[in-house]
Structure 1
Amino acid sequence: MDAALKRDSIKWAIALVIILLAAFAARVFWLDRHPLWWDEGLNVYFAHQTPAALLEETRITHDANPLVYRLAMGGWKELIGSSAFTLRLFSVFLGTSAVALTWAIGCWLTSRKTALIATLFVALSPMQVHYSRETKGYAFALACALLSTYAWGRKLGYLDLGLPDLGGLVARLGWWTVYVLSTTAALGAHYYLGLLVLWQGLWVLGCAGLALARKSAPRREILTRLGLWLLAMGVVALLLTPWLLAVLDTTVEMVTGVSVGDSLPVWGYLGQVGRVFGAGPGETEPLASIAGGGMAALSAIGLFGVRQGGKAEDRRHLAGTWRPGWSRPFFLLSWVAVPLSAAYWVQTAYSFFSPRFLLYLGPACYLLVAEGVGQIGAGYMVSALSRRLSAAASIALAVAIAGLWSLCLARVYIQPYIAPGVGRLDEAEEPRPAIARIRAAALPGDALLYGYIWQAGYLYAYYPQNELALYRTYYTPQTVGQELESIFAAHQRLWMLDYRIAAEDPHNLPASWLEAEAYKVESDWYNRHHLALYLAPDFQTPGVGSEEGVASFDGRIELRYPLVSVRLAPGDTLALPLRWRALDALNENEDYAVFVHLGLPGAQPLAQSDGPPQNGLAPTGAWAAGQQVLDRRALLLPDAIPPGRYALTVGLYSSDGSRLPVGDGDSLLLGYVEVER
């Protein structure tokens, strides 16, 4: 008998290991194929902050997420690394851990067969897989919620308020510690986990009330158990209250600000939750409704099945933890129903809601669904049919679920869903080309301006070893000049990373100052991200002399220019200050562009800077007589430029390409550049 049980246990263990490997593979597959998106970049940024800075930034940005997940991710990055892949890997391991915890809870509440089916569902559920692949706190909250529920209900005996059998005081203290810390971590990952604590509290109070009414245990014992739970919740509150008090006003302000839509009616709410739990986020009709409706039907069947107690061999494997009656099915039902109902009322007050906030209810739902599948396969619900036909029906259900989910998982890998109002990830959001350009050209001592804190998160993830000094562009027209001058006092080169707005856009406040006052080295779009590089207004290239030459273009415009004799390497930048002066008033038909060319006579330029003076902010057609314009030109030498001695020329040309005469030609020689490798 012992050998048979051992072989049987080995088979269950092998099946569990296979499912865990499948869960890990489903979560890690193509993990880095898609770029981070806004919320992920936000969390990466916060994970790089100290606790004090995290609190300050949360208040400044009115962020509505608590701190524990971000602190945990900060510790993870110190151990494993801070690339996008390694940070997402944190959620992969947490999501896989949730699969293992589902097995433990399933064996405790139902049977090993049901637990294994539920574990498989959690392993492959599109919703569970999706949120175990992001640098967001949902997988963390899920794992902590399951651990909290298992410690509280199973190890501490709160399923029916019975005394735990833990083998001594040390073991009991250990599990109380696990319960308190896991509950604190769950609440500290997402505020909607407060509904889990609400359910646990109602369950404890209800069990205590029934026990007192039935006198099924000594009154003192019941009140002691109730008091211990309340004490544990007091410790949780003490751990989280300082943070909550510090951010309460800004969090409420943010949630109120984004709760602009109408709340969902009850059937719309249940339908949305069911569709996402059944088919994953963002799935369209009819697939989502079929999956959600099927799950609901199987859960109802499963609720009856849990009451039945499973087969005799399953009860034997539960080793005495099975208790006939309604406590376990009602425990599972209330685990889902209480937070689900409470969340409905919360979203009536604050309409900012997503089914992902309830991800931690997934394992309980899948336990009920798994029991429903098992009941059909065992013939409990269709006793008139043969056992063989019942087994075929069970297999058909599993195949149907797998077929539906395979379609949904394909979308998770190919084009994952982001959020309502955003839809699925657009590849135009890809930030990696822009960051690759920074990695290729950044120099020690460079600084970078960014507008959104998730952009800084992108930099931390895709350029982990960067030495850039990062500055956020929270400026006003009154402070922008002073702020940028102070940055240039410490850094000679400044990158500017924008989103959906170019540096040349007049609505781009800091960039407008830079366009007028600094040397623009490069400016380009990388999908929806715009990247520009500027040099300080007082930047000097060695060899660009202080001696000036003077030239006249067609007797209309005078140029004062530095004499140039420099030695540079490929990838270096030549800063060239040009001082123009209108000798006469120019009209709108005299809009000229400036060109600065580097190359060999008669050949195409190897490097150039073309465009109107001052990056278009001082068009020549509007110059008054005597007006002076300082035009800072920057010439970036290509990496592939061959060694040699090249002429540097400057000139003016009109919209039809004709050049203004200067001296005996149409361009002015400023000097020579010696390129050396």
Structure 2
Amino acid sequence: MIDSQSLWYDEGNSARMTTRSFSEIAQASRNDVHPPGYYVVLNLWSRYLGTTEFGLRSISALLGVVCVCLIGVIVRKMYGDLAAIICFVLASLHPALVYYSQEARMYSLCVTMSVACVYFYIRIISEARIKSLVYSGYVICSVIGLYTHYVFALITFVVNFAFLLRMFINRIRNNVHVPVKAWFISHIIIFLCYLPWLSIGVNHLISWPATKALDPWTIWNILTTWKWLVLGQTVLLDDVYIGLVCYLFTVFIFVKSRKVDVIELWFLVPVLIILGSGLGTEAFEKFFIISVPAVVIAGGVGLAIMVNSHSYVFKVLGLIFCVIVISYKYLSLVNLYFNDKYSRDDYRTLVYDLEALNRDKDVVIVNAPNQMEVINYYDKGMVEFVPVANSRPLETTNEIRRLEMLADKYTRIKAVYWGDEQTDASGVIETWLNSNAFKYSETWYGQVRLIEFYVDDISDFEYLGVKMDNFILDSYGLNSKEFNPGEVVVVSLNWYTVDITSDMYKVFVHVSSSSNLPPVAQHDSYPMGGVMPTSSWSAGEMVLDRHGVYLPIDLQSGEYEVYTGMYSDDDGKRLSIDGKSEDEKILLSKIYVRSND
């Protein structure tokens, strides 16, 4: 079902737009990086289908069906029934088309308008008597497409390039002229319709803070782009080389069988421009979606040519290639639906967990303020959220002051991180929290990270002076000796090293009922949450390392022991105490956990 997965970051923005008026959508889009067309369509759609996950995504699903049907119509008109059937199947199973048909974003609308424009273009240049309805359809789809996504302008460029190419060829051959006047008038109308947004769109494109590939023409980038165009984003390149080679051969058969026309230009021009502009990165590879229908048509028609061949060998080879290509599409679709690696960020579960474990004096900070739109979609008002990192660039002094105020007011600070490289590239917020609070949990919800910190101040330390290889644990401190289930054992460790090292070690803190039993709770991390890795320590420098260990809510009452130690990040081998291989952890203290009754 299209509502089986949570809405993610961008879909939260779409959901928020359904609550706004058209003028508010236009104003919000001025401050966004996308034009308002899709949001207006979604706003109208949600008035009838609602704003549930199903309601928000259903318009994309419907458009996906229309897109596949239009591909079949185009191919049947140009290449016959067999090619249309093959292309219909390939389009229906294309993982990228399926993926974006299940997302409340503008890409399904954009690609459907792209296919529709090519369909109307083909009718315009192939039919002797063209009805005004065909031109109207072309104009309407072009305007909707341009107001949906800026990448649609590449489709407008492609069809005009194809039109001029055909006009040039026809004049050389003294054929009947293509309808230049009507075509020109159509684009004057398109231009006038888009004129109110033109300056805003240009400004968006100029000021867009996109992270671009430094060298877009590497073999790896080209291969991953081809993989995306053929099999989508939900499969690894190393797993599908055979399928990609087979499909490339079918495209070669297609190109070899005809002169360059709109399908070839539709396939190549957007891909080359997107790659050449450095936008062929993982974050923006979805822009290739506008060329996927052309890739489907080229490969599908190539397969039809092979299957229709008079050569028995070529015919059998075509059938084998069909099976291979479809099997790899199936593999990609299986990953899409059943491999968590390719699931959307799970804000639904994130908010549910925050609500279930919420306590008095808990606060949740959100590092990318626009995350609040998807969080508010699921939030029932039980948790206090505070957006941080609001400014670009980050104002360090103001953010630290805000964190200090939160630490004075709350006991637990839970941080929701997404897109750290854009919102807080230098890690100001996380560094401050690791240096001033006790991290006790880190959980991933797709690409969203939830880190939980306990705020406390430990002033009483007990001297140890225990040596582990080159490292010496000078002293430690605990926040208490008695706890309730669900509370956090706060541990401060004062380390220093005798000699500097380039090796990376992690520190563990375990709570166990006995030294020879597995821990009932633990926390492992680099010193100070990675702020002070062991490779950066100077000889004799004292490092205050903070750890929090969350005691499970169902933990049985009784006496427990708190241990600490270090292990190598490379091989997981623990350091021993004073060279004694049998001693790999230091007993810090005994604690008592009360009954949860």
1:499 counterpart residue number: 417
Name the counterpart of 2:528.
none
Q: Deviations over 1:572-611 (max 9, x none)?
A: xxxxxx999x9xxx777698755598xxxxxx95886775
2:326 alignment partner in structure 1: 402
Which position in structure 1 is the counterpart of 2:267?
Answer: 336
Distance 2:406 2:28 in 1: 21
2:131 partner letter: D
Match of 1:451 in 2: 367
Q: Are 2:194 and 1:237 equivalent residues in the alignment?
A: yes
State the partner residue of 2:49: 80
> Equivalent of 2:102, from 120, 125, 133?
133
Q: Secondary structure at the match of 1:264?
A: coil
Say if 1:297 and 1:87 are closer, same or farther in 2 by CA, change over 3 A.
same
Q: Which moved more, 1:369-378 or 1:63-72?
A: 63-72
Q: Helix, strand or coil for the counterpart of 1:116?
A: helix
1:474 to 389, 411, 417: 389
Change (3 A) 1:250 1:48: farther
Q: CA deviation at 1:101?
A: 1.3
1:7 match: none
Q: Structure 1 301/482 Cα, relative in aligned 2: closer, same or farther at 3 Å?
A: closer
CA distance in 2, matches of 1:43, 1:237: 22
AA paired with 2:248? A
Show the 5 A alignment for 1:48-63.
Answer: none
Q: Secondary structure of the equivalent of 1:202?
A: helix
Confirm whether residue 203 of structure 1 aligns to residue 119 of structure 2.
Answer: no
Note if contact 2:396-2:428 (Cα within 8 Å) is conserved in structure 1.
no
Q: 2:450 corresponds to which letter in structure 1?
A: H
Task: Please give the TM-score of this superposition, normalised by the length of structure 2.
Answer: 0.63
- In 1, Cα distance between equivalents of 2:24 and 2:339: 34
Alignment check: 8 A CA contact 2:414 2:452 kept: yes
Partner of 1:178: 137
Residues 499, 530 of structure 1: 8 Å contact kept: yes
Deviation at 1:264, TM superposition (A): 0.8
Letter in 1 for 2:60: S
Instruction: Find the partner of 2:116 among 108, 129, 147.
Output: 147
CA distance in 2, matches of 1:395, 1:151: 32
Structure 2 CA distance for partners of 1:165 and 1:426, relative to 1, 3 Å: closer
Contact 1:91 1:134 in 2 (8 A): yes
From the superposition, tell whether residues 464 and 147 of structure 1 become closer, same or farther in structure 2 (CA, over 3 Å).
Answer: farther
How far off is 1:294 after superposition? Answer: 1.7
Secondary structure (helix, strand or coil) at the match of 1:281 reads: coil
Amino acid at match of 1:337: L
Cα shift at 1:194: 1.7
Partner of 1:319: none
TM-score relative to the length of structure 1: 0.57
The correspondence of residues 110-129 of structure 1 with structure 2, limited to 5 A, is: 110-129=79-98
**For 1:521-536, what aligned pairs fall within 5 Å after superposition?**
525-527=442-444, 529-530=449-450
- Kindly provide the CA deviation profile for residues 393-429 of structure 1, in whole angstroms up to 9, marking residues without a partner as x: 544332222223222322222337xxxxxxx4489x6
How far 1:190 sits from its partner (Å)?
3.3
- Answer yes or no: is the 8 Å Cα contact 2:143–2:190 preserved in 1: no
Query: How many angstroms apart in 1 are the aligned matches of 2:411 and 2:36?
Result: 34
In structure 1, distance between residues paired with 2:15 and 2:156: 28
CA contact (8 A) 1:279 1:408 kept: yes
Count of paired positions? 482
Contact 2:14 2:105 in 1 (8 A): yes
2:131 to 165, 177, 195: 165
Cα shift at 1:118: 0.5
What residue number does 2:525 align with? none
Q: Equivalent residue for 1:508?
A: 429
1:379–1:133 distance in 2 versus 1, CA, 3 Å: same
Residue equivalent to 1:566: none
Which amino acid in the other structure matches residue 190 of structure 2?
Answer: M
Structure 2 Cα separation of the partners of residues 239 and 442 of structure 1: 48
Is the CA contact 2:224–2:237 (under 8 Å) kept in the aligned structure 1? no
Query: Any residues of structure 2 matched to 1:281-430 within 5 Å, and which?
Result: 281=233, 283-285=235-237, 287-303=239-255, 330-347=261-278, 352=281, 355-380=285-310, 382=311, 385=312, 392-415=316-339, 424-425=341-342, 430=346
**1 CA distance for matches of 2:590 and 2:142?**
71
Partners in 2 of 1:370 and 1:579 — Cα distance?
67
Cα 1:186–1:226 shift into 2, 3 Å: closer
Equivalent position amino acid for 2:111 in 1: L
Question: Could you tell me how far apart the structure 1 residues matched to 2:146 and 2:100 are?
Answer: 17
Assess if the C-alpha contact under 8 Å between 2:150 and 2:201 holds in 1: no
User: Match for 2:188: what amino acid?
Assistant: L
Displacement of 1:122 in angstroms is 0.3
Alignment partner of 2:207 out of 250, 266, 287: 250
Segments of 5+ residues of structure 2 without an aligned counterpart are 421-426, 464-474, 493-552, 555-586
Deviation, structure 1 residue 182? 2.1
- RMSD over aligned Cα atoms: 5.2
Q: Among 54, 59, 68, which residue is 1:99 paired with?
A: 68
State the 1:450 CA deviation: 1.3
1:124 shift after superposition = 0.9
Residue identity over aligned pairs, in percent, reads 15
**AA of the residue aligned to 1:233:** I
Q: Deviations over 1:483-536 (max 9, x none)?
A: 689999xx99998542389xxxx95379869x89xxx9x98544464366999x
Deviation at 1:143, TM superposition (A): 0.9
Secondary structure of the residue aligned to 2:215 is coil
Partner-residue secondary structure (3-state), 2:261: helix
Paired residues of 1:449 and 1:494 also in contact (CA < 8 A): no
Contact 1:262–1:351 (CA under 8 A) maintained in structure 2: no
* Other structure's SS at 2:416 match: strand
Amino acid at match of 2:215: D
Of 264, 274, 277, 2:229 maps to 277
Does the CA-based 8 Å contact 1:45-1:456 persist in structure 2?
Answer: no
Provide, for residues 294-336 of structure 1, a one-character-per-residue CA deviation record: whole Å limited to 9, x for no partner.
222222333466x6xxxxxxxxxxxxxxxxxx6xx73333332
Q: Contact conserved, 2:441 with 2:453, CA < 8 A, in 1? A: no
Question: Contact (CA 8 Å) 1:283, 1:408: kept in 2 or not?
Answer: yes
Structure with max Cα Rg: 1
